Amino acid sequence: MKKIVLTVFLITIVFVGLPQEIYAQFVCSGSACGFLPEGVKTAGNATVTKFEKEYLNEVLKTNLEAGFLSNIGTNNIGTGLVRRVQIGTSVSAAGYKKDDIQVKDDLVQFPKMPNVGAAVSPSINLDFNPGWLFGTDEDHFTRRFSVFLHGMNVAISKDQLQSLSNNKNYEGRITVRSYGGMLRYQLVQKEGFFLNLITWNGLNLGVGHHFMEQNFQLSYLEGTASTIQFQGVKGKWGGDTDFTFNSRVRTTNADIRTGFGLFWVANLIVGGGYSWNSGTTSMSLGRTGPFLVTVDTNPLELPREYQEQIDKTLLAQTPNAVLGFGVDGEAKSKRGIGYAIVGLELDIFLLKIVAEGLYGGKDLYSANLGAKLSF
């Protein structure tokens, strides 16, 4: 009986994730609370704490580290050298998979669960050569510098959220904000062979800083109350599920790049670097609503907008309560990540297309793709 209740709550939590430090609260007031397993609050909070330490902490760390590597790719660098000025857009995504984790105690035994993370960061890019901007000669040392800037402020409204999810039961807002840049220097100049049909791109060094913030405020509006069963007695739990999540990731990185150019169009890129990263998250998950245990007529079969208008006389004849569950917490993480770079840059007249892949260690990958107009 206890396993049924805890499994419902904990599986719900798994899908949204929890931070490093957690405060869980299970509350029930009313006559229907007698149908709940005795001591479920104490047992439930103890199990959640164990679950958080052995599984959710690790999932949080995995997601943050995916965000670190995604941050690195937001500038969509390519060869690292800008002739004059470039403007375009790009998207950077990262994924991280670690070994599965199994959590169990005297109350609940979970199956092995995946420890995976992911992050996506879209950007608008502006790149320029400061030497060209200042009007210096082609041979002037300032022409060896390139500046790469990126930024984006995206907001997904309630209507867009419902359209993307194809579900009218979702309400809320999602915002993603990112910005940053890199300063790069062509340490060793390019050198051509075979009438410049093949070129060695020299050595290009860069250092940058990047910031990304994500905010989620979501509510899932239940169409009808959910069914919970305790030893053959069915109960209905109304109310909506509210979820908020905030994440901030900062990355400072330095890398070196080289590669080969082919036929004035394609440039193969290889390199490596190191990043210093820090991230914080905070979240809350909660649901509170009427809880009824009944055999015949159940007013919580009504649509959610009418649940608050239930006849009080009917409620008095039916075991009822207010059932609530909430989780609040926050976390911090720091990590340095070394990474390898491989990419391809295509120059087609004024259009430049850059695709890059980053490898940050076992099962930690990132990729970015961008298109820019080069003037």
As a whole number, mean pLDDT of residues 60-70 equals 82
CA separation for the pair 288, 321 (Å, rounded): 11
Kindly indicate the confidence band of residue 257, based on its pLDDT and cuts at 50, 70 and 90. very high
Residue 192 has pLDDT above 60, yes or no: yes
List the one residue out of 35, 19, 26 whose CA is nearest residue 319. 35
Alpha carbon separation from 317 to 32, 165, 202, 237, 310 (Å, rounded) = 11, 39, 83, 17, 12
CA separation for the pair 318, 22 (Å, rounded): 35
Per the structure block, which two tokens stand in for 235? 């109960």
Find the largest Cα–Cα distance for the chain.
93
CB of 4 closer than 8 Å to CB of 294:
no
Among 9-18, 88-97, 203-212, 296-305, top mean pLDDT goes to 203-212
Helices 2-16, 40-51: crossing angle, 10 deg rounding: 40
As a whole number, mean pLDDT of residues 145-171 equals 75
CB of 262 closer than 8 Å to CB of 59:
no
As a whole number, mean pLDDT of residues 203-221 equals 87
As a whole number, mean pLDDT of residues 75-81 equals 92
Kindly indicate the confidence band of residue 344, based on its pLDDT and cuts at 50, 70 and 90. very high
**DSSP string for 342-359:** EEEEEEETTEEEEEEEEE
Q: What phi and psi values does residue 310 have, to the nearest 5 degrees?
A: -65, 140
Per the structure block, which two tokens stand in for 313? 């006389």
pLDDT tens per residue, range 258-286 = 999 998 899 999 999 999 999 987 777 67
As a whole number, mean pLDDT of residues 196-213 equals 93
Q: What phi and psi values does residue 19 have, to the nearest 5 degrees?
A: -85, -175
Q: What pLDDT was estimated at residue 225? A: 64
As a whole number, mean pLDDT of residues 7-21 equals 35
In percent, how much of the chain has pLDDT > 70?
65
- The whole-chain average pLDDT of the chain stands at 77
Q: What pLDDT was estimated at residue 16? A: 33
Kindly indicate the confidence band of residue 3, based on its pLDDT and cuts at 50, 70 and 90. very low
Residue type at 42?
T
Q: Which residue has the higher pLDDT, 317 or 270?
A: 270
As a whole number, mean pLDDT of residues 53-65 equals 74
CB of 101 closer than 8 Å to CB of 50:
no
Kindly indicate the confidence band of residue 39, based on its pLDDT and cuts at 50, 70 and 90. low
As a whole number, mean pLDDT of residues 84-113 equals 79
CA separation for the pair 282, 332 (Å, rounded): 9
Q: What pLDDT was estimated at residue 306? A: 46
Judge if pTM exceeds 0.85: no
Residue 61 has pLDDT above 90, yes or no: no
- The CB density around residue 90, as the number of other CB atoms within 10 Å, is 24
CB of 261 closer than 8 Å to CB of 267:
yes
